[in-house]
Amino acid sequence: MKIKLLSLFSIIIMSCVSKTNSDDFIAKTSGRYFFNADEVIEISFKDKKLYLEWRKSLIKPLKLNDSTFYVKEFNEKLIFVSEENKIVLAEKKEHEGKKYIFLKLKDGEKTPSEYLAENNFEMALEGYLSIRKKDSLSPLIQERHLNRMGYNFLRKNQITKAIHIFKINKTLYPNSSNTHDSLGDAFLKNKDTLNAIKSYKDALNVNPENESSKRSLARLTKKDK
């Protein structure tokens, strides 16, 4: 009986909350927020109602009060702290004491992968280096993850992007023979033989037993190793 009364009370409270949002709230909260260091959620409004776009899905959260919205797809409550340009998740037992905060991106700011998509190698590199500075164990900058990303670009014949991501991986992990070898593969597919040879030699300087680089270099220099 108590649960039913609480549910009824919640419904009554919800019915008193305006479904639209103030112009001031819309102006302060519209924009893009970091979901993680390389992914965003975007907040927009239509007819003064809040919408959330995430991973190409458009979601309409349920407004609970002037700053709190329930997203059933996440089973989470979003609390907008517009004065601090951030969204926080309402605490709950499943979070095990961890706080979740999504900071708003500055005007024109982008994620590393967005810079990469624009072939803006310098800003993409800066972004990934920033991730490493904040969290050196982030899965977003794991060597294996970036290497897979690079070869995915190669398979799609997006060679420039592959070269860029392999260069980033090499910068993050200069003592890995594999990062140099992968960059050599990208240069080779781009028919840039000189840089391919240099990358394979760099790979062998790190690890003289890198068989992949040995074979590739032998083919390119027509020498038996």
Q: Please report the DSSP string for 141-203 in residue order.
A: G-HHHHHHHHHHHHHTT-HHHHHHHHHHHHHH-TT-HHHHHHHHHHHHHTT-HHHHHHHHHHH
In terms of domains, do 127 and 195 share one? yes
pLDDT, position 19: 83
Structural domain range at position 171: 112-221
Q: Which residues contact 137 (CB under 8 A, 6 or more apart)?
A: none
In terms of domains, do 94 and 177 share one? no
Domain count, the chain: 2
In terms of domains, do 95 and 187 share one? no
pLDDT, position 126: 95
> Where a domain ends, among 103, 133, 166?
103
DSSP label at residue 66: S
In terms of domains, do 85 and 141 share one? no
Confidence of residue 6 (pLDDT cuts 50, 70, 90): very low
The rounded percent of the chain whose pLDDT value lies above 90 is 87
User: Whole-model pTM?
Assistant: 0.78
Confidence of residue 9 (pLDDT cuts 50, 70, 90): very low
> Where a domain ends, among 103, 126, 149?
103
In terms of domains, do 150 and 168 share one? yes
In terms of domains, do 116 and 202 share one? yes
pLDDT at 187 over 50: yes
CB contact at 8 A, 81 and 88: yes
pLDDT at 225 over 50: no
Q: Average pLDDT, whole number, for the chain?
A: 91
What CATH number is given to the structural domain containing 211? 1.25.40.10
Confidence of residue 131 (pLDDT cuts 50, 70, 90): very high
In terms of domains, do 52 and 121 share one? no
pLDDT at 223 over 60: no
How far lies 109's CA from each of 25, 32, 106, 154, in Å? 21, 9, 5, 27
Helices 177-189 and 211-221: angle between axes, nearest 10 degrees: 40
What CATH number is given to the structural domain containing 59? 2.40.128
Q: To the nearest 10°, the Cα dihedral for 160, 196, 138, 211?
A: 140
In terms of domains, do 64 and 84 share one? yes
Instruction: Please count the CA atoms within 13 angstroms of the CA of 40 that sit on its side-chain side.
Output: 17
In terms of domains, do 59 and 136 share one? no
Mean pLDDT of all residues in 75-87: 96
